[in-house]
Structure 1
């Protein structure tokens, strides 16, 4: 293992190389998990992140500070399963808001002494594998260059925000921000004329917080969000303490790795049409009252496979949701009947809400369906619609989403053994092995990214499942003095086909969503997430390891040039 070196300049004034065993990109759940356990192995490691604080995948919880930003996984699912961490930490509510999640990462940092090996406010601009010493050369925007044996990408699935190319955006003279770049100091919104473009997760959270305080709020919606009730409530510290003492937390953390989505609930193990209409309704009511993602990932096991079963779930959702909206026009825009359905239920990620639909009953809140009346152009004072209507705003909030799953990885200039960049390799389609490696990029691992359970799972569950596997693989290389571990082209072709096959038997391909890469113009339309569930994914990855990391080449003979 190479010792850590100090940063010095050579005679030409260029920063000298620093040697590490591992450089990790992203100071969120994944990156910090890797740092903690790789350091315990005795490896010299550093984490680099563009944000100013620790938190979330690639510091999502640093950037996501917009009104209402909060997690959509129940406590205690959205935290590490490390006992030394969970035993002394209590959450204040079932779905914590962003300030509390930041405090959690500060707590984790203090307990595990992480910050000393974390470089914040810094971006990785370039990385290239040097085939002669079999090490990665990684360049930071500070000019520093690290050479490292292992290069670990923990950027998360939402590290690159997306802004559509709306005409005339630079003309707007008011305040305008994407939710992923919301000012840390906030924006004064009370009494203002506000526009929110987009009704994905960040849009929904913003809208329900902004509506009560805005002078007037206009929502521009492309596709209805099939939101589910969060059923938020405060938590009792004494009850949390009791659950930890009785071992309930241990059981929850064990069980979350045994469920499809890594939650503490799972699909109902019957097909929908095996039960009567009365039995179906009883199950739906129970899941609806339970809140969270239960009505998405706890319904009949064929709901995401059978259109008939899916229609039953959609009709229940529409009935419940439409009853909360007073205006008939808004009702049809926000919660259309089955005959006017925009997409099947659950094939776009549903958002959790607390009072989202009630906000539209306020006289100061309007919604415009962009498919019927698109944006024509931005103006100095606001937005002009295709029908000629000119809307004036003080503030425009862009809740227009992300170049999800692959975007955070390919925005870094990473070159493999053949000199081809990762962006070029994946430009016409994504290729991975196990959703953690890709051929010709040896000793490079990524988690919570493409072709893993990622967007179909609870983040920390996926991070720990993949993180444990990567840590074991690194340890295998170190103990066996292996220079390189690289996926073969054959193994990644097999895995990519496997991921596509799992998705093709579901209803997901029939919906244009970021799950399929369909929200970004020019991006390949493909299965970006593993649809087999956490238990199957874990089993398949572990079988590869048990077979001596089948599908990987070790110490592959490279064309070494002097």
Structure 2
């Protein structure tokens, strides 16, 4: 068997990524980038160590350094980009349009032009390279460095942080920006190790690509990644089978290719555009209509739906009536594209199996049409479940399918997985994974009691999966910098979330979620995709404006809910 991720992450025991697996992944990257790495055992003294190289990390590195802090960024991968460093599979692209999916710094957007409304992963990596150059980030960045452990020392009020390759850092602040998709998940199917073809998770797509011409390929999973992959693989492969676990409530992307430097809005309008992002529920440039579904008559509703559908993006979902959670409109649109009645009922049933937005909404670009091709098959694993991976392919309860490649688009241990896979221990000796074993507790989705001076962005119990990435990176990054400046001005050494405040924040997260229909669906928003993971709302659903207001009030009131010493 050839296992593309195995060449990077070594033998697998629990079918998910561990620090040991990550170390093997980045070993060859590190050697290529840094040559032979020699470590003399001396700890590097820092004001802050930043973990990760996505939007949150690079924003913090730039602004903390500008504020006079001695800071360093470490990243397990080989370059900037966060998930976009790893996601190189065919069809990988962001579902946030430009210029929303960019930083608001004029030094960046005045010297950068997008090629598409929804950029592909290669263009996103080019954008991060542009950011790194303009902000001069590389001199304070270490790639190929997976953080395996961090221990707080109460006497010195510092974290001792170790990477797998042997670097040691002493930092006053430990700033984690691992994002919500840092730990892959592959179900523990019997027989994976026996497969004689190539088995891989799409986020381990080889940088050199794969020659799939004429090959038999399986894609397991029909989330955003699975839908993107399937659409782009269809014209390349000899035969494609898509294994569907649950339907994808996709909306049209409406891709646009820009020519001669044109952009979606004039650059003169960018400052107002960026200022308005924190006033919108999802941190974009659009919000709900401000009226309910039946405030309009049937004709007006139909006109509204058609206009929003034609706009593409998430507008049909997040710019619609404020009470719309169920509609057959999208299903009807999808059904019109699918010729086969059986496939039509599996991909786009008229009875929506879950409420709109309670699972990850995707933007599709020709996804439904591929199932009209004679070499593309849809396998419903609810009626014919996967029983095992065999040497030749996949055995379902109905038959054995033969494949050259099995692409396992089964997602991630989202939101908490990336943080828990590091051995992080506070003054009590308890690890973060142990602290969160039964349930997740944070204050403001930024901090955890018992872990002083440890702050994270784009993580659990924040607006994370419902918030545009750069928007969240800036508002959380600015708040963290403000807290650090406050402590420096007051001569304080330590900040820690109060246990009572994190209990109250968890109660608020649950209260808002339980007032919606989100818990009614099985999704990674609730931790449902990982066996044994506590089932709980992991997302703050109050929206960006309410979250931004709470952060501001907390700071204005002397950082209530935190113990400062």
Give the TM interval when normalised to the shorter protein. over 0.9
Secondary structure of 1:363's aligned partner = coil
Which residue number in structure 2 is paired with residue 544 of structure 1? 554
Instruction: State the shift of 1:242 in Å.
Output: 7.7
Q: Does residue 1:287 correspond to 2:293, yes or no? A: no
Secondary structure of 2:372's aligned partner = coil
Which residue number in structure 1 is paired with residue 272 of structure 2? 251
Instruction: State the shift of 1:474 in Å.
Output: 1.0
Residues 242, 196 of structure 1: CA spacing in aligned structure 2 closer, same or farther, 3 A cutoff? closer
Instruction: State the shift of 1:392 in Å.
Output: 0.3
Task: Summarize deviations over 1:256-284 as a string: whole Å, max 9, x none.
Answer: 11100011111111111222222221111
Task: Summarize deviations over 1:311-342 as a string: whole Å, max 9, x none.
Answer: 3x2x001111100100001101110111xx32
Return the alpha-carbon distance in structure 2 between the equivalents of residues 17 and 521 of structure 1.
38
Return the alpha-carbon distance in structure 2 between the equivalents of residues 102 and 370 of structure 1.
35
Return the alpha-carbon distance in structure 2 between the equivalents of residues 281 and 264 of structure 1.
23
Which residue number in structure 2 is paired with residue 356 of structure 1? 367
Return the alpha-carbon distance in structure 2 between the equivalents of residues 384 and 415 of structure 1.
43
CA contact (8 A) 2:192 2:390 kept: yes
CA contact (8 A) 2:99 2:264 kept: no
CA contact (8 A) 1:90 1:237 kept: no
Which residue number in structure 1 is paired with residue 462 of structure 2? 452
Q: Does residue 1:378 correspond to 2:389, yes or no? A: yes
Q: Does residue 1:187 correspond to 2:187, yes or no? A: no
Return the alpha-carbon distance in structure 1 between the equivalents of residues 40 and 138 of structure 2.
26
| 2:410 aligns with one of 400, 403, 407 | 400
**Which deviates the most, 249-258 or 150-159?**
249-258
Return the alpha-carbon distance in structure 1 between the equivalents of residues 381 and 460 of structure 2.
30
Q: Does residue 1:34 correspond to 2:60, yes or no? A: yes
Instruction: State the shift of 1:37 in Å.
Output: 0.4
| 2:347 aligns with one of 315, 334, 338 | 334
CA contact (8 A) 2:114 2:261 kept: no
Which residue number in structure 1 is paired with residue 358 of structure 2? 347
CA contact (8 A) 2:98 2:264 kept: no
Q: Does residue 1:318 correspond to 2:343, yes or no? A: no
Which residue number in structure 1 is paired with residue 180 of structure 2? 157
Instruction: State the shift of 1:222 in Å.
Output: 0.3
Task: Summarize deviations over 1:356-413 as a string: whole Å, max 9, x none.
Answer: 00111100000011111100111111011112x1110001111000001111111111
Return the alpha-carbon distance in structure 2 between the equivalents of residues 290 and 371 of structure 1.
33
Query: How many equivalent pairs are there?
Result: 527
Q: Does residue 1:44 correspond to 2:70, yes or no? A: yes
CA contact (8 A) 2:438 2:534 kept: yes
Task: Summarize deviations over 1:481-524 as a string: whole Å, max 9, x none.
Answer: 11101010011111110111111111101000001111111111
**Which deviates the most, 431-440 or 292-301?**
292-301
Unmatched 5+ stretches in structure 1:
1-12, 304-309, 556-562
CA contact (8 A) 2:152 2:158 kept: yes
Which residue number in structure 1 is paired with residue 378 of structure 2? 367
Return the alpha-carbon distance in structure 2 between the equivalents of residues 550 and 541 of structure 1.
10
Return the alpha-carbon distance in structure 2 between the equivalents of residues 237 and 437 of structure 1.
45
CA RMSD of aligned residues (A): 1.2
CA contact (8 A) 1:195 1:395 kept: yes
Instruction: State the shift of 1:237 in Å.
Output: 4.2
Return the alpha-carbon distance in structure 1 between the equivalents of residues 298 and 174 of structure 2.
53
| 1:418 aligns with one of 424, 428, 432 | 428
Return the alpha-carbon distance in structure 1 between the equivalents of residues 320 and 528 of structure 2.
26
CA contact (8 A) 2:243 2:381 kept: yes
Task: Summarize deviations over 1:95-122 as a string: whole Å, max 9, x none.
Answer: 0001111111111111111011110011
Task: Summarize deviations over 1:68-89 as a string: whole Å, max 9, x none.
Answer: 1001001101111111111110
Q: For residues 1-400 of structure 1, what are the structure 2 equivalents within 5 Å?
A: 15-55=41-81, 59-240=82-263, 243-244=266-267, 246=268, 248-303=269-324, 310-311=325-326, 313=327, 315-338=328-351, 341-387=352-398, 389-400=399-410
Which residue number in structure 1 is paired with residue 28 of structure 2? none
Which residue number in structure 1 is paired with residue 477 of structure 2? 467
Which residue number in structure 2 is paired with residue 5 of structure 1? none
Task: Summarize deviations over 1:424-467 as a string: whole Å, max 9, x none.
Answer: 11111110001100101111100000011100111111111111
Return the alpha-carbon distance in structure 2 between the equivalents of residues 123 and 529 of structure 1.
26
The list of structure 1 runs, each at least 4 consecutive aligned residues, that deviate by more than 2 angstroms after superposition, is 236-242
Return the alpha-carbon distance in structure 1 between the equivalents of residues 415 and 298 of structure 2.
38
Unmatched 5+ stretches in structure 2:
1-38
Which residue number in structure 1 is paired with residue 443 of structure 2? 433
Instruction: State the shift of 1:214 in Å.
Output: 1.1
CA contact (8 A) 1:92 1:237 kept: no
CA contact (8 A) 1:47 1:118 kept: yes
Which residue number in structure 2 is paired with residue 6 of structure 1? none
CA contact (8 A) 2:84 2:121 kept: yes
| 1:479 aligns with one of 489, 492, 495 | 489
Return the alpha-carbon distance in structure 2 between the equivalents of residues 169 and 280 of structure 1.
50
Task: Summarize deviations over 1:131-169 as a string: whole Å, max 9, x none.
Answer: 111100001111121110000000111111110111111
CA contact (8 A) 1:126 1:140 kept: yes
Return the alpha-carbon distance in structure 1 between the equivalents of residues 374 and 465 of structure 2.
36
**TM-score (structure 1 length as normaliser):** 0.92
**TM-score (structure 2 length as normaliser):** 0.92
